[in-house]
């Protein structure tokens, strides 16, 4: 049963993103902001930091493909970006110790890189006409604020769960 906790938590984050977008659409509150939940990216950061590169990249590939199939009309953007960011996280973990500050900074930095990557791809295929300044003000900043709140709220319960799971996996 314990081996199913990681996939269940990852799928809950994946579903939680779409539920969040449905429950809190920007148009409903007349916001001129685009708020993008990146709970899956935060989960990949935590999985990669608390386990290993292979697990983080595996979840990145699977969840990225699932994200591409469900939400985008361009297959491969998230499937490429998620594992690449997991790799970068592993490189930073060789320098930093794991604590709430490093998880938060790595999560926000990964989300920033992901948003710029997706924005760049959209610019390249003429999928958006947002200027960089508008992108920063309308999309990136609100997205970072939302995901910062997510990390702060869910880091401690997720950390405890991951620590228990990793100890149990090492015992098996």
Instruction: For 82-91, write each residue's pLDDT tens digit.
Output: 999 999 999 9
Mean pLDDT of 115-143: 93
Mean pLDDT of 22-34: 70
In this prediction, residue 30 carries a pLDDT of 61
pTM, entire model: 0.90
In this prediction, residue 145 carries a pLDDT of 94
Residue 40 CB contacts under 8 Å (≥ 6 apart), including other chains: 10, 13, 14, 17, 63, 67, 82
- Residue 129's pLDDT band (boundaries 50, 70, 90)? confident
Look at residues 18, 22, 7, 14 and name the one whose alpha carbon lies nearest to residue 58: 7
The average confidence (pLDDT) of the chain is 88
Q: Which residue has the higher pLDDT, 3 or 1?
A: 3
Q: DSSP assignment of 93-151, as one string?
A: HTTS--SHHHHHHHHHHHHHHHHHHHHHHHHHTT-----HHHIIIIIIHHHHHHHHHHH
Task: Break the chain into its structural domains and give their ranges.
Answer: 2-171
In this prediction, residue 166 carries a pLDDT of 63
CATH class of 2-171: mainly alpha
């Amino acid at each position: 049963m314990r081996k199913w906790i990681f996939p269940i938590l990852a799928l809950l984050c994946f579903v939680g993103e779409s539920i969040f977008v449905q429950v809190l659409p920007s148009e409903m509150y007349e916001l001129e902001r685009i708020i993008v939940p990146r709970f899956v990216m935060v989960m990949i950061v935590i999985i990669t930091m608390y386990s290993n590169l292979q697990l983080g990249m595996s979840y990145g590939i699977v969840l990225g493909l699932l994200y591409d199939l469900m939400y985008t009309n361009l297959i491969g953007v998230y499937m490429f970006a998620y594992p690449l960011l997991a790799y970068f996280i592993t490189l930073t973990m060789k320098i930093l110790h794991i604590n709430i500050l490093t998880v938060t900074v790595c999560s926000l930095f990964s989300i920033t890189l992901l948003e710029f990557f997706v924005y760049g791809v959209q610019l390249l295929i003429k999928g958006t006409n947002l200027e960089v300044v508008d992108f920063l003000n309308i999309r990136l900043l609100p997205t970072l604020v939302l995901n910062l709140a997510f990390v702060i709220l869910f880091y401690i319960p997720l950390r405890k769960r991951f620590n228990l799971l990793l100890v149990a996996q090492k015992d098996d």
